[in-house]
Structure 1
Amino acid sequence: MPSGREKLGGGEDLYRIGIDVGGTNTDAALLDSSLRPVHTVKVHTTRDVNEGIVESIRRLLAESGVNPARIRYAMLGTTHCTNAIVERKHLGKVGLIRIGAPATTSVPPLADWDDALKAAVGPHAYVVSGGYEYDGRAIVGLDEAQIAEVAGRMRGEVDAVAVCGVFSPVNGEQEKRAMQIVKAVLGDNTPVTLSHEIGSIGLLERENASLLNAALLNVIAGVVRGFEQALESFGIHAGVYICQNDGTLMRSDYALRYPILTIACGPTNSIRGAAHLSGLSDALVVDIGGTTTDIGVLAHGFPRQSSAAVEIGGVRTNFRMPDILSIGIGGGTIVRQDAAGGVTVGPDSVGYELLQRGRIFGGDTLTATDVAVKLGRHAWNGADTAGLDETVCRQADGIITSDIEDAIDRMKTSSDPVDVVLVGGGSILVADRLEGVARIVRPDHYDAANAIGAALGEVSGETERIYALDEMTYDEAMLDAKNHAVQQAVLAGAERDTVQVVFSEDIPLAYLPGNALLVKVKAAGRLA
């Protein structure tokens, strides 16, 4: 993070804006040069999410009175890419070249994709000769003529190309050569995604992630262009950064190459914001919004990453993702009473219609927010709780509390009580005490932790590789992995002199010959 106080020529402080687009609300935060929150706003997310972004910037400037010329950085966490995959809309046509014949022909590309998603990305998927063993030795040589031939079939049919080779995270040379051939056939401006830059070991999952990344290139280009135009329309000439799903940032030009890394950045922004606001570096973060409760783990100041393969829109992938548990509890969650007097909670929600449909606002739907206000958890000006049945509300509160306690227990690594940081506008639902929790921390600006997390200025890079220790020493393998992670952080926008390794892990692979070692390293540094 920046040290000291950044100044303009006249001695004025500089500021940064963080914006996080959620399913219900778009939150924006203005931070000063010491990363202290100056002002936050919350607006409804619109069908065209760019409209909500523009409105959040307008209100932030109008209410804070800050001169737009004093804003140096602007950060955006967005659901654009997630929505495009889930809704099967706005995806680009992608040509796939799998380098893996004859070893991988038994399972064709896109085998686990549904028909709608297959149709969205197009029919151009080919398997060509090549690939590597686990230790980087070639299985068979790359068939360059075959690659040129299938690239020719894609001419005029695809917007981008994805290249995925067997064990390419160990040795990426065949993928790089394939990219050169594709560009020679289709033109230098053809976007090419290389799988060893996206996912880890696991051919089909890495192939899926690479295809989705290539399909999202047009989506992220529109996001970046729209964000830059929105900033310029308000006279803001700032460095533009996009939030990654590991809780750090990447330059907009880096995001244009790796849009898949924005998937699930919302929960990680909340986790980073919670760490900053609470001062804790190790805790559980419970982020309660209008529709869901997202629970993540804060480890050494960063979100804990998932070790399992993750499905995105029904597609199994293995690129990095935060370890997040989501349950259907939020401020707009609907509470019902059946004919026998039983009470159920959710999982459906009124979402952004809370102020129209909630009972305390004159609506006809009992929500979790109504329950919290009735039980005195939160005072809402003008709210009318006289008509709410306290018995029903207490039953609903018991269900909500039990569900959240169970979810917290599932995310813990031991039975010991843990610290919990509560953030999000829906955190008013939670009582002051929870089973299995040592203490509950509700920091200032808790309802805008996601936008504040978006504005925090660390940039990261990481690597995950297999090394054969019969060819190099353990120290040489670790040094190579750490250098690669540092280089990735610099490419993403970090200042080299500030980059430090924040996580490293090495796992002996006993099932592979050659004394194999899997090394994972993450490095992070402040904005360049």
Structure 2
Amino acid sequence: MGNYRIGIDVGGTHTDAVILDDQYNVISETKEPTTEDVSTGIYKAVKKIIDAANVPKEEIKYAMLGTTHCTNAIVERKRLNKVAVIRIGAPATLGIKPLVGVPNDLREILGKYVYIVRGGNEFDGREIAELDKKRLSEIANELKGKVDSIAITSVFSPVSTDHEHEAQKIFQEVLGDEVAISLSSEIGSVGLLERENATILNAAVVNVARSTANGFVNALKEEGVNAKVFFGQNDGTLMSVEYTVKYPILTIACGPTNSIRGASYLTNQSNALVVDVGGTTTDIGVLVNSFPRQSSLAVEIGGVRTNFRMPDITSVGIGGGTIVRVKEDGTVTLGPDSVGYRLQQEAYVFGGNTLTTTDIIVAKGMAEIGDVTKVVELDKDLVEKAYHILVEKVEEAIDRMKTSAEPIPVILVGGGSVLLPEKLKGASIVHRPDHFGVANAIGSAISQVSGQVERVFALDELGRTETLELAKQMAKEEAVVAGADANKVEIVDFEDVPLAYLPGNATRIRAKAAGPLAE
């Protein structure tokens, strides 16, 4: 019996798919244009790789999907849930209302039902005020039939989760299990407004995640594949469908992350810069011990400040479909706009009439794409100028991501990486591995499953050693619940930060465990 797995990564331009065998060798691969409704593109890609691989369908055991659905829904303000925002924190937090600083158009969609209720905790876990349960059940009854998702945020809930859990119970009793509930203590870290924003966004994309998951499962079923389905999350590991529908915000930025993991696997490098060139953007991330470096800053998604974990990625508006323009004074500009998934209709080499970066490299003789005769006439000076700007922009971005002046290995992946030369400033060596065009789908297929715990512990209760062990154990259990093999789970990331201003010798601990899928 073979043990095959499908990996799919949906980008803005292409939907990439691969089938790997149990040794992670690529059996078949394809790049399909991403479709407007996304699911059609996934369905076509699945069909293609299964037909090409010619392996028994019952031997395809796993299917992994990395998707931009949730990100796009927030950025485009489309297909969002009807959300109620509950903040537990009166009278302490009345000064700044929820959704302050969120762009107006998004606030209009998400800010229809906003409540601030008595309760919450101090930074040391003491209650600010008793939780107003009576008011919570009044609100729950008011919301019947009006919303399908609830975001609950209590002050300092990463220190004490009691009030959020009690509120959750009340809402579930009144509204039943149909209404999705997001708790801030399970999503963000300390910092009320950013954590609340992340929780509201999470609540807003539950339906998108659910329909994406169903679409993916159905696409596989139509092909006669009954595989276990997982979604890529933004730390380079996988989560089960149930977990995804509960924490859809964790899928945000999983595309660049998949590319980083795929690049690491294809080149056997564990510390390098990964340059992923797509049709629209180039994303640059950092491999540290085979996993993406995490960002330590507040992250904006669709104009909203949040503080849940994200990979540290810089993006430049350079890709295979980037539009090249010549101004009247002869200066050449690139992008930031791109023809995206319409490249095969609009670029010169495909008979279109938009000049793109793809046309430039074909004119330079660096790639054979489309019809070369369409770009033979291009002004040599223009071609050189455009190419120079393209390389320079990527080199500047590489420089921004480096932590020292030393040259560092660079791995080029993504379909658009044919744009870049074999030598880049700041790179000690440039790798362009086999299957570079589908590194993201490979990254999604080989991912491990992880669990993470991040909260404040009082060391005085159990003593330091015991507490650290407890946190590690909790992270391992999370990973096993998410689908990892209990015997092979290990701690891959651990940090503890003493909080000097808290009594009880408090420490914020973040522990992450990861392991291969349980067979």
Deviations along 1:413-455, whole A, 9 cap, x unmatched? 1111111110011111111111111000001000001111111
Q: Does residue 1:422 correspond to 2:412, yes or no?
A: yes
Asked whether the equivalents of residues 99 and 111 of structure 2 are also in contact (C-alpha less than 8 Å), the reply is: no
**Paired letter, 1:349:** S
Task: Specify whether residues 53 and 171 from structure 1 end up closer, same or farther in structure 2 by C-alpha distance, changes over 3 A only.
Answer: same
Contact 2:147 2:179 in 1 (8 A): no
Alignment equivalent of 2:488, drawn from 480, 485, 498: 498
Displacement of 1:471: 4.2
- Distance in 2 of aligned mates of 1:157 and 1:251: 29
Indicate the residue corresponding to 2:100 in structure 1.
Answer: 111
Q: Which residue of 1 is the match for residue 204 of structure 2?
A: 215
One-letter amino acid of the counterpart of residue 517, structure 2: L
More displaced 10-residue stretch of structure 1: 265-274 or 508-517: 508-517
Helix, strand or coil for the counterpart of 1:23? Answer: coil
Q: Map 1:142-291; keep pairs closer than 5 Å.
A: 142-291=131-280
Whole-Å separation in 1 of the counterparts to 2:382 and 2:219: 46
- Residues 188 and 253 (structure 1), Cα distance of their counterparts in 2 relative to 1, 3 Å cut: closer
In 1, the alpha carbon distance for the partners of 2:87 and 2:36 equals: 37
* 2:389 paired residue number: 399
Structure 1 pair 119–338 and aligned structure 2 pair: CA distance change class (3 A):
closer
Please say if 1:527 is aligned against 2:517. Answer: yes
CA distance in 1, matches of 2:340, 2:244: 29
Aligned partner of 1:5 in structure 2 is none
Q: Following TM superposition, by how much is the alpha carbon of 1:95 offset from its aligned partner in structure 2, in angstroms?
A: 1.6
Deviation for aligned residue 1:514: 5.0
Aligned match of 2:400:
410
- CA separation of 1:164/1:388 partners in 2, compared to 1, >3 Å: closer, same or farther? same
Contact conserved, 2:9 with 2:66, CA < 8 A, in 1? yes
How much has 1:56 moved relative to structure 2? 0.4
Q: Matches of 2:171 and 2:28 in 1, distance apart? A: 49
> 1:483 aligned to 473, 479, 488, which one?
473
Secondary structure of the structure 2 residue equivalent to 1:66: coil
Of the three residues 81, 100, 116, the one matched with 2:89 is: 100
Amino acid at match of 1:242: F
Match for residue 473 of structure 1?
463
Secondary structure (helix, strand or coil) at the match of 1:229 reads helix
Helix, strand or coil for the counterpart of 2:456?
strand
Partner of 2:122: 133
Map 1:342-491 → 2, pairs under 5 A:
342-380=331-369, 382-384=371-373, 385-491=375-481
Cα deviation code 1:330-363 (max 9, x no counterpart): 1111122222222112111122222222223333
- The separation in 2 between residues aligned to 1:370 and 1:457, in whole angstroms, is 35
Paired residue secondary structure (1:103): coil
* Offset of residue 486 of structure 1: 1.3
The corresponding residue for 2:506 is 516
1:66 maps to 2:55: yes
Deviates more, 1:127-136 or 1:253-262: 127-136
The CA deviation string for residues 381-400 of structure 1, in whole angstroms up to 9 with x for no partner, is: 64224212222111111111
- Please name the residue that 1:301 is paired with: 290
1:124-152 CA-partner distances (Å, limit 9, x unpaired):
21111111122222222212112112222
> Contact 1:283/1:418 (CA < 8 Å) preserved in 2?
yes
SS class of match (2:246): coil
Q: Which shifted more, 223-232 or 489-498?
A: 489-498
Counterpart-to-counterpart distance in 1, 2:208 and 2:512? 27
For residues 112-134 of structure 1, give each alpha carbon's deviation from its aligned partner in whole angstroms, at most 9, with x where no partner exists. 22333233235221111111122
Query: For the residues of structure 1 that align with 2:506 and 2:421, how far apart are their CA atoms?
Result: 50
Aligned equivalents of 2:143 and 2:28: distance in 1? 50
1:55 aligns with 2:35: no
TM-score by length of 1: 0.95
What secondary structure, in the 3-state scheme, does the structure 2 residue paired with 1:498 have? Answer: coil
Say if 1:356 and 1:362, in contact at 8 Å, map to a contact too: yes
CA contact (8 A) 2:236 2:447 kept: no
SS at match of 1:254: helix
The percent of aligned pairs where both chains have the same amino acid is: 54
Shift of 1:379: 2.9
* 3-state DSSP of counterpart to 1:388: coil
* Stretch moving more, 64-73 or 241-250: 64-73
- Cα separation, 1, equivalents of 2:389 and 2:502: 48
Q: In the alignment, which residue of structure 2 is the partner of 1:331?
A: 320
Deviations 1:146-172 (A, max 9, x none): 211222221121102121111111111
- 2:145 counterpart SS class: coil
Whole-Å Cα distance in 1 between the matches of residues 94 and 465 of structure 2? 37
**TM-score calculated relative to the size of structure 2:** 0.96
Please tell me whether the aligned partners of residues 293 and 329 of structure 1 are also in contact (alpha carbons under 8 angstroms). Answer: yes
Looking at structure 2, the residues matched to 188 and 363 of structure 1 have their Cα atoms a distance apart, in angstroms, of 52
More displaced 10-residue stretch of structure 1: 108-117 or 468-477 = 468-477
Unaligned regions of 5+ residues in structure 2, if any? none
Distance between the aligned counterparts of 1:353 and 1:212, measured in 2? 30
Q: Secondary structure at the match of 1:497?
A: coil
SS of the residue aligned with 2:147? coil
Q: Distance in 2 between matches of 1:455 and 1:140?
A: 48
The Cα of 1:472 is off from its aligned counterpart by: 4.4
Query: Contact 1:93–1:122 at 8 Å: present in 2 too?
Result: no
- Number of residue pairs matched? 517
Deviation at 1:30, TM superposition (A): 0.6
Q: Is the 8 A contact 1:134 1:466 kept in 2?
A: no
- Give 3-state SS (helix, strand or coil) of 1:256's partner: helix
The CA deviation at 1:297 is 0.7
Amino acid at match of 1:448: V
CA distance in structure 2 between the partners assigned to 1:382 and 1:125 by the alignment: 57
Aligned amino acid, residue 304 of structure 1: R
**Cα distance in 2, alignment partners of residues 358 and 189 from structure 1:** 47
CA distance in 2, matches of 1:125, 1:476: 41
The one-letter code sitting in structure 1 at the alignment partner of 2:322 is: T
- Structure 2 distance, partners of 1:38, 1:390, is 41
Q: Is the 8 A contact 1:97 1:163 kept in 2?
A: yes
Give distance in 2, aligned partners of 1:199 and 1:491.
20
Residue pair 1:15, 1:33 contacting (<8 A) in 2 also: yes
Task: Give the corresponding residue for 1:40.
Answer: 29
Equivalent-residue separation in structure 2 for 1:153 and 1:430 (angstroms): 58
